[in-house]
Chains A and B, each alone.
Chain A
Amino acid sequence: MPTVEISHISKSFGTLKAVDDVSFDVEKGEIFGLLGPNGAGKTTAIRVLLDIFKPDSGSISVLGGSMTEAKKDRIGYMPEERGMYQDIPLDRCLIYLSTLKGLTTMEARSRMTEYLERFDLASSRSKKVKELSKGMQQKAQLITTLIHKPELVIIDEPFSGLDPINTQMVKDLLREQRDQGVTILMSTHQMHQVEELCDRIVLIDHGRTVLYGSLDEIRRQFSGHAVLVRTPDALPALPGVESTKQHNSSAYRLNLSPSTKSQDVLRNLVDRGIQVDQFEIAAPTLDEIFIQVVTANDLQQGERP
């Protein structure tokens, strides 16, 4: 049974339809990517899922049913709008927010100490939150998201404001959580992070679902019928190849005719004595898919040229 089941939800604010008939499931123990350009409706979808907003239509099931007060303790949420009490010491802020997630003060204190050490914040525990750097506050926010050992983590832009070392640490942490069986729903713009971490994604634009499925499946779907060949030699005309384009300084993109198989092209290259350093199916990056899908959708909506 999926941890989250979103089924045909819609939500409008006045005349603006922020979410329009969106459906997706998040399976237990996966890292799921919720993607979309700015203003696509990601945050609204998350807020509807968390019962902050009531949907106009559609149904939501979280952790096996509708949202309840008790379930709030089993969910960790890191919103896009980061928020901590600025005027109180870090440890007091963390303990307070942890107790609101059902921990006792004692439990909160001992778990907080572990996390502060792991996140290299132990020496800053008595400092006021406003005295911490943006990156440190970001890490503190992550602690509040994870300290109560949630079963479902919903996290909006987890890497913003982090340097490469901390980015790596957060990535490791998310993988570790997944390995422990925690379900993670992650919303981000950083496509390479999604490629690295997510098992499945949903892409929404203008409030509607435009892509949904496993990452591999989606990339295959967008790969077209082409291969990439890296070679120091000049490429001759090959049978079954409709056109050849320079991909970068040492690689070519070969667009194949519908009946041609990639193995035939490789055999032809080898038979002609051409040095092949690299040969792969030309799968687009998630970035390229994102831009392609969103631009096409915009054209359809008549927004951008």
Chain B
Amino acid sequence: MTKFWYIAWHEYSRHVFRKRFIFALLSVPFFLTLTVALVILIVWMQSDPTPIGYIDRSNLLANPLPQPAVKFPERNVSMLAYMDEASANADLQAGKIQAYYLVPKDYLETGQVEVIFLKELNGIAAQQFNSFLTTNLLLNQPPEIANRLLEGNELVVQSMDKSREASQNRFINIIFPMVAGIIFIVGMSTSSGYLMQAVVEEKENRTMEIMVTSVSPNQLMSGKVIADIVIGVTQLLVWTIFLLLVLVIGKNYFSFLSGFQLSGEIIAIILAVMIPAFIMISGLMAAVGATVSEASEGQQMMGLFTLPIWLPYILIAVFIQNPNSPLAIGMSLFPLTAPMTIALRIGFTTIPTWQVIASVVILVLSAIGAVWLAGRAFRLGMLRYGQRLRLKEIFSHQEV
């Protein structure tokens, strides 16, 4: 048993403490952070804090209240009242204001306002003037009515049995399982890739003979598979922590994140599907590693598995339109497409319990099969240097 842990620790530390791994691990949060930072920067730069002027001939803005404060990264624009167009024009020419509005006398009847600018006013600033105008129009209304009108409605779509609902503001709850699924699959693909590499490397390095005369093939293989799973978990843990941090912190700044709620049921289903899927993919990758004689050859064979795993992602539009179509159900049951299909469907529909159970059972059986296959391929292929093991041989009755 001790040797098994030595193998697992060796494989784990060898990959996890490598610069390449740390780089890959941090690159996902890094690029996400970079993207978010860029978006924030762009919004901040777009929102020009130069004041906006207005000439109020309707007398609706005689004693105005300021518009509600905007959230970072948007910047607040202050509103300046002008008596006449000449002074407003002078300030516009001088760059003291970015534009000015003319609210006509018959504004309440026509709803028309005029805006004068030198450079087209951006949406963020225009939105703030609208908000300023609305706030002051609602001045005499009870606060709860004024607030409701200012915040707008939330459209909630509910399923017939009321078990599921979706709304614009809770869009993130649909996206979350999808993102979690993608992260899981990226994590397991990369760490299984490491496993395949580790197995091929042992053949390329010719360390295999030393290994099998020191430990049993089972100890060797299970040590490697466990290390691979822990590598994957390490990766997922770092990314999950990052993602949760983004959601928790981002909730305060981004309205589309504010409806985020963690659903225990969704997490349980994702885990039930992803764990056997992870073992299955690891087993398949180890089998590939044992079969081929060079890492490059292994990469090509990996493609055969990667394609069906990502296929549901390509068909995402089909799943959104009809998440319970026969295609979606079929792909939820086929072991290689199941992980991604379930993760995509779960956001849009309530997957019937029998489908979830069937999918998990099939995945568990596939995982057992893949580990068996890996063990057999390994015993047959471990000392084949420069010669690929054929599929026929793995399934033949040959004694190993």
**A residues with CB within 8 A of B:** 47, 50, 52, 54, 69, 72-73, 75, 77, 79, 81-88, 96-97, 99-102, 144
* B14→A83 contact, CB < 8 A: no
Q: Enumerate 23 A-B pairs (CB-CB under 8 Å) in ascending A order.
A: A47-B383, A52-B212, A52-B383, A72-B214, A72-B215, A73-B214, A79-B209, A79-B210, A81-B206, A81-B385, A82-B206, A83-B206, A83-B208, A84-B205, A85-B14, A85-B201, A86-B205, A87-B14, A88-B14, A96-B10, A99-B6, A100-B6, A102-B3
* B213→A52 contact, CB < 8 A: yes
* A100→B7 contact, CB < 8 A: yes
CA distance A96 to B201 in the complex (A): 16
Candidates A54, A84, A99, A101; contact of B207 at CB < 8 Å:
A84
**Given A69-B215, A69-B216, A84-B207; 10 other pairs, CB 8 A cutoff:** A47-B383, A54-B399, A72-B215, A79-B206, A81-B209, A83-B205, A83-B206, A83-B208, A86-B205, A102-B3
B211 at the binding interface (Cβ < 8 Å)? yes
* A52→B209 contact, CB < 8 A: yes
Q: Closest CB of chain A to B61's CB: distance in Å?
A: 72
* 0 or 1 for each of B95-119: is its CB under 8 Å from A? (1 = yes): 0000000000000000000000000
| B208: A residues at CB distance < 8 A | 83
* B6→A144 contact, CB < 8 A: no
* A144→B14 contact, CB < 8 A: no
* A83→B210 contact, CB < 8 A: yes
Candidates A77, A87, A88; contact of B213 at CB < 8 Å:
A77
CA distance A81 to B206 in the complex (A): 6
Q: Closest CB of chain B to A105's CB: distance in Å?
A: 9
| A85: B residues at CB distance < 8 A | 14, 201, 205, 207
CA distance A99 to B213 in the complex (A): 13
CA distance A187 to B14 in the complex (A): 34
* A72→B14 contact, CB < 8 A: no
**Most A CB within 10 A of own CB, among B3, B202, B211:** B3
| A83: B residues at CB distance < 8 A | 202, 205-210
| B399: A residues at CB distance < 8 A | 54
| A72: B residues at CB distance < 8 A | 213-215
Candidates B201, B213, B216; contact of A75 at CB < 8 Å:
B213
B344-400 interface (Cβ within 8 A of A): 383, 385, 399-400
* B215→A100 contact, CB < 8 A: yes
Which chain B residue lies CB-closest to A54? Answer: B399
Closest 10 CB pairs of A and B: A83-B206, A83-B207, A100-B214, A81-B206, A79-B209, A99-B6, A77-B213, A83-B205, A96-B10, A50-B213
* A97→B383 contact, CB < 8 A: no
Which chain A residue lies CB-closest to B379? Answer: A52
| A88: B residues at CB distance < 8 A | 14
* 0 or 1 for each of B1-25: is its CB under 8 Å from A? (1 = yes): 0010011001000100000000000
Q: Closest CB of chain A to B270's CB: distance in Å?
A: 35
| B211: A residues at CB distance < 8 A | 100
Which chain B residue lies CB-closest to A145? Answer: B210
CA distance A7 to B16 in the complex (A): 47
| A73: B residues at CB distance < 8 A | 214
Known A-B contacts A83-B207, A84-B207, A85-B205; A99 and B385 likewise in contact (beta carbons under 8 Å): no
